[in-house]
Structure 1
Amino acid sequence: MDFLSKGLLTFLFLLQTIQASPDTKLFREYIGAEFKGVTFSDVPISPSVDFHFILSFAIDYTTSDSPSPTNGQFNVFWDTDNLSPSQISSIKNNHPNVKVALSLGGDSIGNGYAYFNPSSIDSWVDNAVSSLTSIINQYNLDGIDVDYEHFQSDPETFAECIGRLLKVLKNKGVISFASIAPFDDEEVQSHYLALWRKYGHLIDYVNFQFYAYDEGTTVSQFLSYFDTQRSNYGGGKILASFISDGSGGLSPNNGFFSACATLKREGKFHGIFIWSADDSMSNGFRYEKRSQAFLASAR
């Protein structure tokens, strides 16, 4: 074998190694949905990870006592007393590795579900682009997460509305990244998979809610679920996840980090996200510390 051939083989091997070893320092955490007084500075932040706070939630509903859909006119529903624009600027200035996103939708509003309920695709997109651009600029945000969980539209309408929204916001430089947060439910998956098929190239991370599986999930079950979702969202950066109150899925005490180590060895690991900082206050953020230590030590 001549020198050039050996060099080419070496290059291809290194390229395969790089492709099989994705950046695995990403840590993401939802914050602000439960109004428990948690602040950004309460949460431990390792300088060795890429840290994303995800504000929960911005919802296209009115802020009245009986909230109703607004067709893409988003309002802020997170704990703004403790998670304000000035506090965002402060945490980002003090921690250059921190970025902040907002999440759209969520499970509920008031005493009912928060539905995705557009009047039309064009009007919803126009309203969403305008209202979200205003919020993102006011709060100095970096990205968007999509966490609608209830729908009064078909999957294709959802895909067009969200896909066009992400495309416009990215093209205008309003956001630098986007994620989606599906879970294993037939209606939910039908909507997000329709979005993924047409606009997956605009989605940087899949915050799959593995904690929506049954409490007591085993390591082997978790790994099986993970592979299923890697297949569903082919080519996507699927993040491993848990809920900090232990109410579902594979918990840190039952082998979550062992499962992550396996995913890392297999070249499937892209990072960790937690729901949520609000719940983690009661345990002193022990799992945030452990997650970031794992990410910082991962090779």
Structure 2
Amino acid sequence: MSNMSQSLSSSSPFSSFKPSSHPPHESKQPQQTQIFREYIGAKFKNVKFSDVPINPNVEFHFILSFAIDYDTSSSPTNRKFNVFWDSDNLSPSQVSSIKNQHSNVRVALSLGGDTVNSVYAYFKPSSMDSWVSNAVSSLTSIIQQYNLDGIDINYEHFSADPDTFSECIGRLITTLKNNGVISFASIAPFDDDQVQSHYLALWKSYGDLIDYVNFQFYGYDQGTTVSQFINYFKTQSSNYNGGKVLASFISDGSRGLSPENGFFTACDRLKSEQQLHGIFVWSADDSKEIGFRYEEQSQNLLATPH
């Protein structure tokens, strides 16, 4: 199992897309709630939920990475999803344990990702109806088995047009929410023409069902400056108009604006403008090697009144 692409093509800030005409969302949480989210389990580095520091004054989401509609031979299954995260260390009993220990913790699963067994994981439905039916069935089973709270949409490769993606994913989220299977949903786009065209189509039609936008700001070039980061953030907040766009960094500092080069300065500035809805990190697997110091710093920043 491979991680999300660290060699994302970085294009210029998205000027070609018009902001969504979707009406602004009503806040799903009290205004003061700060969200911290972290992807976990894709790299099989034996990281456990209990390794990660959890500040009681934020809403903390672990995002299991990934559930993928492929089988163990790396073949598509028409959306019968299987677990491809480190389930030995991140098992149903460990989900229950961390949630019992911390009342502010929720756990989600992420769909898709970059690759499965070094092969690109494509969004590739044979038909919309069968995709939605199989996805709802297989994901409901996994979510209930693991006692999960939400899903994250993280497809990065597509063998279907944006409208098909929008309808399949939109109907999936709608059904899971209406059935009471999940309480929140997020999307994880990055600044790439094909990726953005698919996620913006989904946003335009189903944005009111999407609670968080985990925009991969670490998809931009390494060496991104604070002012560039803030411009990127405001551009994407305009694209995903009315959404809770979260700031983000990659633990190994390989791309985007790293914590060492001003990420927290940028977050402080956004917070002072009341634009910081939360922070997410890719990923706990890499953060383990550096003692999760940036996770602590992120949560402290979010939990401190400005």
- Whether 1:264 and 2:271 are equivalent positions in the alignment is yes
SS state of the match for residue 273, structure 1?
strand
Identical residues among aligned pairs (%)? 74
Note the alpha carbon deviations across 1:136-176, whole angstroms, 9 max, x for none: 00000000000000000000000000000000000111000
Aligned-partner Cα distance in 2 for 1:292–1:233: 24
- Whether 1:111 and 2:118 are equivalent positions in the alignment is yes
5 Å-filtered alignment, 1:44-63, equals: 44-63=53-72
Q: 1:24 offset after TM fit, Å?
A: 5.0
- Whether 1:99 and 2:88 are equivalent positions in the alignment is no
Note the alpha carbon deviations across 1:270-293, whole angstroms, 9 max, x for none: 000000000001100010111111
Q: 1:298 offset after TM fit, Å?
A: 3.3
Aligned-partner Cα distance in 2 for 1:170–1:176: 6
- Which stretch has the larger CA shift, 184-193 or 108-117? 108-117
In the alignment, is the contact (CA less than 8 A) between 1:215 and 1:249 conserved in 2?
yes
Aligned-partner Cα distance in 2 for 1:60–1:290: 35
- Whether 1:75 and 2:86 are equivalent positions in the alignment is no
Q: Which residue is equivalent to 1:203?
A: 210
SS state of the match for residue 164, structure 2?
helix
Q: Which residue is equivalent to 2:38?
A: 29
Deviating beyond 3 angstroms after TM superposition, the runs of 4 or more aligned structure 1 residues are 21-24
- TM-score between both structures, scaled by the size of structure 2: 0.89
Note the alpha carbon deviations across 1:242-266, whole angstroms, 9 max, x for none: 0010001111111111111111121
In the alignment, is the contact (CA less than 8 A) between 1:22 and 1:270 conserved in 2?
no
Aligned-partner Cα distance in 1 for 2:176–2:305: 33
Mark the runs of 5 or more structure 1 residues left unpaired by the alignment: 1-17
Aligned-pair RMSD on alpha carbons?
1.1
Mark the runs of 5 or more structure 2 residues left unpaired by the alignment: 1-26
Q: Write 1 or 2 for the structure with the bigger share of helix.
A: 1
Aligned-partner Cα distance in 2 for 1:26–1:79: 24
- Whether 1:231 and 2:272 are equivalent positions in the alignment is no
SS state of the match for residue 169, structure 1?
helix
Length, aligned pairs only? 278
Q: Which residue is equivalent to 1:273?
A: 280
- Whether 1:253 and 2:260 are equivalent positions in the alignment is yes
5 Å-filtered alignment, 1:213-232, equals: 213-232=220-239
In the alignment, is the contact (CA less than 8 A) between 2:33 and 2:59 conserved in 1?
no
Q: Whose relative contact order is higher, 1 or 2, with alpha carbons under 8 Å and at least 6 apart?
A: 2
Aligned-partner Cα distance in 1 for 2:93–2:167: 34
- TM-score between both structures, scaled by the size of structure 1: 0.91
Q: 1:56 offset after TM fit, Å?
A: 0.0
Q: 1:112 offset after TM fit, Å?
A: 1.2
SS state of the match for residue 280, structure 1?
helix
Q: Which residue is equivalent to 1:40?
A: 49
Aligned equivalent of 1:177, options 181, 184, 188: 184
Structure showing greater radius of gyration is 1
Q: Which residue is equivalent to 1:131?
A: 138
